Chains A and B, each alone.
Chain A
């Protein structure tokens, strides 16, 4: 602020304070003189104008008091600095009031806001865990946050990278405007290509071309993925215009965006990319082509794979015989087969795995006597090749998103070793489940839990659609109930309990009421387990109620 008017612009900075401010422009130098005298001490320097008969220090204080009050009273605002460009309008409707309040509560529960919650979890819900779901719903409904909530949202996203995409989508353009002003939130600019400027739409071919040719890498990736999502061919054509001049690592990223909406029409482009200078680009092109069962590459791989696998009828029962490749020829290498095996793996089985993985699954029925996938998977395999072969089929089923093969490889959920005939790992089973429809997936996992309990179900539950279907939800709750009756502590199941809080259908809260009572403790039960279970179920019920309320609040217009 200006303490004294600058002599040149007294007219232009005329303010209401001129009457109380001194027009005496020498006030400034008088003050300077007083400060100097005060600093040195009146014993060394006596300020001018001391009235006779007054002690110098007192006179100095008198003068300084007058000057201080005068300076303060005469204070004027300063010149405004250059204004920032206002944030762009957010056209979305504002959150309904109840939902805005809920968001404030969810954000108030940030880690580090006190209340050390180490160790056992109480009966109160973990609000931060509900934030992702809240954000998903709010984003689906297309609501905009109240601007004053943005700092808390950005802080939440800063601390949790997994939340960033949803938070930034919800936070909208004003959050990026803010992020440009605060270095703490710079991550938002990095995560959002173009710093929030809207990507050009299909009606703006010139802007598309300009952005594609001159944009930053992140902007170009976003542009390409955006176009690919609505018009696969247009994205491929755009990519083709500059393909030859792109850097290898950029080509790899761009190629990856073709995964969305991959179709037979992409084959010629991908086939050309098989001859790319970069090994990684070649491998990705091969992988994409192998996911197109009709592609020439898939045909070549099928030919190679088929020559390695046959049914041997010379045994009592038909048995699959495997003859792994003896070399990785240049043709195989060109089609994406990686010649060098990782440490500890045999070269021949490494090549076989890649051939089988890339061959269209439809090949096998023809090759193996018209059998169905289930019949093929059930065939014995000679010479310990079974796990190698089945694992490759699993990868193929996931890559080619083939539900009938997935089903065959998963087997029935009740199978004794819980792994189906292929004895695949939980992680692979989770991936196979991902190729099935939501209902079938949920039913399979429900069946698995009914037979095998919860201890291994965590990973499988993770691929089920939220909210869980009725049968799946009931299977989980029944299993929890059984665990409780067995007398163990609930925290052995805290992972599943936490998932249930987030994924159970909120309408299940009603059925769960009875479980919140403290049960009679059975003999041999862990001491106090009953009340801990009661607490856990209370927390589950409370969380479900809260989720129901959250949904309701976001449905309001």
Chain B
């Protein structure tokens, strides 16, 4: 694997920044000035010395080829991750102006990369040698049984509460306010059913979500009821659906699907956060398997999740699916090459086909809010106060979801299109389409929209 001609774009580098301040600080360091003895190898190690306010320059090293996305080390005191020096160095490296020539890894950088790679190898060897049989299998079985009993009790209680609500009417939910749901959610946490708890918490927000809330509340109550019933009758469900129910309830098993090696194109990466957790979603598209895969990575509040794969790059790697029928979620396994730019694009479908794909996906997972899909030849079109994606060659259109960031992403999409067809990857569901990445009709790089 050679690094020549496969540098990243500035946007791809800046996408790694944990926050806007780092993005800005990193941009400023993306120039030769403060850097010395910078270099890179074909294997994906980039290093350099950056003069800062301390008398000794900071030592910055990045391993682009790490299996979980770029890994960084910098001797600066910043707690940001990656720090501005790592971002600056990557920008410098991406700049192709010869200030980061290929060279021999200096000892200080070599030590770190070697140790990292060895740790990764050990971990892989350990997991290949058999899953960690955590102590006594009999004890583990008993623990699982106990937990299932807790969940069953929780699901039964939730059923009771839903029935009470329907008996007295949804209109009462508006007066009951948020506290009712918070308390119920806490009960579900006690029952060790985190999936139920999260759904219950979302119910609490619906009565204040604007016109049409009774319909949305009934839908979500019904689906919650469906999930309870699925759990209570899980023995009678087909295997795939039972696994989906377990994962929706909050019992996530390990990603035990067979490893699939493919050329994975990074379609989109975006973060959502609440007060406790930042969740990063990364959508991949397998060039040969033609399937979408979702990688999830978490970070404590205010800290960027570790896994970072810039949009538009592709990597030769193995992924393993999590259990559950139709589940796009997978875990990233061995990575055979560092991520590199690619001309691969996912094939596009019409808006009608996109809606149908979501409908089909509901067969495997009725609780699915949206489904990853790439629309081909669509035109962003204003529709009153909102926008829709309309088939260039037809008369149908999907509305954009209210979740579509009204900010720069949407306008980048509109600018890219200029009223002409584009290819758009996003999530298509019952609320509409959320665009995440777009490509121009002719040649051109992927444009991230989120």
B415 touching A72, Cβ below 8 Å: no
State which of A67, A77, A97, A125 has its C-beta within 8 Å of the C-beta of B31.
A125
State A552–B31 Cα separation when bound (angstroms).
14
Query: 1/0 per residue B300-326: CB within 8 Å of A?
Result: 000000000000000000000000000
A177 touching B223, Cβ below 8 Å: no
Q: Which residue of B lies closest to A171 (CB)?
A: B415
B351 CB contacts on chain A under 8 angstroms: 77
A64 CB contacts on chain B under 8 angstroms: 218-219, 221-222, 225
B226 touching A65, Cβ below 8 Å: yes
State A73–B218 Cα separation when bound (angstroms).
17
> Does B381 have its Cβ within 8 Å of any Cβ on chain A?
yes
Query: 1/0 per residue B153-186: CB within 8 Å of A?
Result: 0000001001111111111100000000000000
B363 CB contacts on chain A under 8 angstroms: 20, 73
> Does B44 have its Cβ within 8 Å of any Cβ on chain A?
no
Answer whether A75 and B419 are a contact pair too, CB < 8 Å, given A41-B166, A80-B381: no
State which of A43, A98, A108, A174 has its C-beta within 8 Å of the C-beta of B23.
A108
Beyond the given A81-B397, A124-B33, could you list 6 further A-B residue pairs with CB under 8 A, ordered by the A residue number? A1-B398, A38-B170, A43-B169, A73-B363, A78-B396, A127-B28
Interface residues of A in 86-113 (CB under 8 A from B): 86-87, 97-98, 101-102, 104-105, 108-109, 113
Q: Which residue of A lies closest to B32 (CB)?
A: A545
B415 CB contacts on chain A under 8 angstroms: 147-151, 174, 178
A34 touching B396, Cβ below 8 Å: no
Report the stretch among A11-19, A239-247, A400-408, A476-484 that lies at the interface. A11-19
State which of B10, B222, B419 has its C-beta within 8 Å of the C-beta of A177.
B419
A542 CB contacts on chain B under 8 angstroms: 31-34
Query: 1/0 per residue A53-71: CB within 8 Å of B?
Result: 0011110111011011101
15 sampled A-B residue pairs with Cβ under 8 A: A1-B399, A15-B355, A16-B352, A16-B353, A17-B352, A43-B167, A56-B166, A61-B222, A72-B359, A76-B352, A108-B14, A113-B23, A114-B23, A147-B415, A545-B33
State A68–B222 Cα separation when bound (angstroms).
8
> Does A272 have its Cβ within 8 Å of any Cβ on chain B?
no
B355 touching A77, Cβ below 8 Å: yes
State which of B162, B358, B418 has its C-beta within 8 Å of the C-beta of A57.
B162
Answer whether A105 and B29 are a contact pair too, CB < 8 Å, given A38-B166, A114-B19: no
Query: 1/0 per residue A7-51: CB within 8 Å of B?
Result: 000000101110011000000000000110011111110000000
A56 CB to closest chain B CB, in angstroms? 7
Q: Which residue of B lies closest to A531 (CB)?
A: B53
State A254–B170 Cα separation when bound (angstroms).
69
Query: 1/0 per residue B378-389: CB within 8 Å of A?
Result: 010111100010
B166 touching A108, Cβ below 8 Å: no
Q: Which residue of A lies closest to B429 (CB)?
A: A72
B225 touching A61, Cβ below 8 Å: yes
Q: Which residue of B lies closest to A34 (CB)?
A: B218
Query: 1/0 per residue B426-450: CB within 8 Å of A?
Result: 0001101000000010001001000
State which of A38, A82, A109, A123 has its C-beta within 8 Å of the C-beta of B169.
A38
State A115–B80 Cα separation when bound (angstroms).
13
A20 touching B430, Cβ below 8 Å: no
A185 CB to closest chain B CB, in angstroms? 9
State which of A67, A115, A177 has its C-beta within 8 Å of the C-beta of B21.
A115
B366 CB contacts on chain A under 8 angstroms: 65, 69
B395 touching A108, Cβ below 8 Å: no
Closest CB pairs A-B (n = 6): A542-B33, A41-B169, A86-B419, A114-B21, A124-B28, A16-B356
B395 touching A80, Cβ below 8 Å: yes
State A72–B215 Cα separation when bound (angstroms).
13
Q: Which residue of B lies closest to A97 (CB)?
A: B9
Query: 1/0 per residue A115-146: CB within 8 Å of B?
Result: 10000000111010000000000000000001
Query: 1/0 per residue B383-411: CB within 8 Å of A?
Result: 11000101100111111000000001001
State which of A1, A17, A178, A541 has its C-beta within 8 Å of the C-beta of B432.
A1
> Does A343 have its Cβ within 8 Å of any Cβ on chain B?
no
State which of B9, B223, B362, B381 has its C-beta within 8 Å of the C-beta of A101.
B9
B397 touching A77, Cβ below 8 Å: yes
State A84–B366 Cα separation when bound (angstroms).
37
State A515–B359 Cα separation when bound (angstroms).
68
> Does B110 have its Cβ within 8 Å of any Cβ on chain A?
no
B73 CB contacts on chain A under 8 angstroms: none
B403 CB to closest chain A CB, in angstroms? 15
State which of B20, B95, B163, B171 has its C-beta within 8 Å of the C-beta of A58.
B163
How many residues of B sit at the interface, in one of the four size bands? 35 or more
A532 CB to closest chain B CB, in angstroms? 11
Q: Which residue of A lies closest to B215 (CB)?
A: A35
State which of B29, B164, B355 has its C-beta within 8 Å of the C-beta of A1.
B355
State A81–B418 Cα separation when bound (angstroms).
16
B437 CB to closest chain A CB, in angstroms? 11
> Does B187 have its Cβ within 8 Å of any Cβ on chain A?
no
B222 touching A15, Cβ below 8 Å: no
> Does A264 have its Cβ within 8 Å of any Cβ on chain B?
no
B358 CB contacts on chain A under 8 angstroms: 72-73, 75
A13 touching B396, Cβ below 8 Å: yes
A174 CB contacts on chain B under 8 angstroms: 415, 418
B359 touching A42, Cβ below 8 Å: no
State which of A15, A40, A113 has its C-beta within 8 Å of the C-beta of B20.
A113
Query: 1/0 per residue B23-45: CB within 8 Å of A?
Result: 11101111111100000000000
State A75–B358 Cα separation when bound (angstroms).
9
A400 CB to closest chain B CB, in angstroms? 45
Q: Which residue of A lies closest to B354 (CB)?
A: A77
State A1–B381 Cα separation when bound (angstroms).
15
A115 touching B25, Cβ below 8 Å: yes
A149 CB contacts on chain B under 8 angstroms: 415
State which of B33, B355, B419, B429 has its C-beta within 8 Å of the C-beta of A83.
B419
A115 touching B24, Cβ below 8 Å: yes
* Residue of A64, A85, A86, A552 with most chain B CB atoms under a 10 A cut-off: A64
